[in-house]
Chains A and B, each alone.
Chain A
Amino acid sequence: MRIVCLGDSLTWGLYGGSYVDALARLLPEHTLLNAGVGGNTVVNLLRRWERDVLPLQPDGVFVMVGGNDAISYHNPKVRPYYAKVQKIDGGYIDPETFESAYRELLTELQIAHLVTWVGLEPVEYSTDVVAALRAYNQRAAAAARALNIPVLDLLELLMPPQGAAEREPITMDFILTIGQREKIGWNDYESVRQRDGFTYTFDGVHVTPAGAQRMAGLIAAFIRHHS
Chain B
Amino acid sequence: MKRLRRWWKGQSGSARLRLGLLFILVTLAAGFSAAGLLNSGDWGGFFLNLGTELAGAALTFVLLDQLLANRERREAIEEQAAQMKTMLIDRMASAVREVAVPAADELRRQNWLLDGSMVQVDLRRANLERVNLANADLREVNLYRARLNQADLWRANLADADLGGAWLNSARLWDVNLEGANLWQARAQNADFRRANLGNAEVNETKLDGADLREVSFKGANLRDARLIGANLHEADLTEADLTGANLSGCNLREAILRRAVLDQAIFDADTVLPDGKRWSPALDLSGYLDDE
- Chain A residues near B (Cβ < 8 Å): 12, 33-35, 37, 48, 51-52, 55-56, 183
Contacts and interface: CB of A to CB of B under 8 A. Distances in A.
5 closest Cβ contacts across the A-B interface?
A52-B96, A37-B95, A35-B96, A55-B99, A52-B94
Contact of B98 (A12, A33, A37, A183): A33
Nearest to B92: A51
A48 B96 CA distance: 10
Contacts of A51: 90-91, 94, 99
8 contacts: A48-B94, A51-B90, A51-B91, A55-B99, A55-B102, A55-B103, A56-B98, A183-B187
Given A37-B95, A183-B185, 20 more contacts: A12-B95, A33-B96, A33-B98, A34-B96, A35-B96, A35-B99, A51-B90, A51-B94, A51-B99, A52-B94, A52-B95, A52-B96, A55-B91, A55-B98, A55-B99, A55-B102, A56-B96, A56-B98, A183-B165, A183-B187
Interface of B: 90-91, 94-96, 98-99, 102-103, 125, 165, 185, 187
Nearest to B102: A55
Contacts of B98: 33, 55-56
Contacts of B90: 51
A60 B112 CA distance: 32
Contacts of A183: 165, 185, 187
Contacts of B95: 12, 37, 52
A93 to B, nearest CB: 19
B78 to A, nearest CB: 23
Contacts of B187: 183
Nearest to A34: B96
Contacts of A55: 91, 98-99, 102-103
Nearest to A4: B96
B209 to A, nearest CB: 12
Contacts of A33: 96, 98
Nearest to A48: B94
A52 B99 CA distance: 6
A12 B98 CA distance: 13
A56 B99 contact: yes
Contacts of B96: 33-35, 52, 56
Which of A12, A37, A52 has the most CB atoms of chain B within a 10 A radius of its CB? A52
Nearest to B90: A51
A12 B187 CA distance: 20
Nearest to A85: B125
B126 to A, nearest CB: 11
Nearest to B95: A37
A52 B98 CA distance: 9
A48 to B, nearest CB: 8
A132 B13 CA distance: 60
B129 to A, nearest CB: 12
Nearest to B125: A37
Nearest to B169: A185
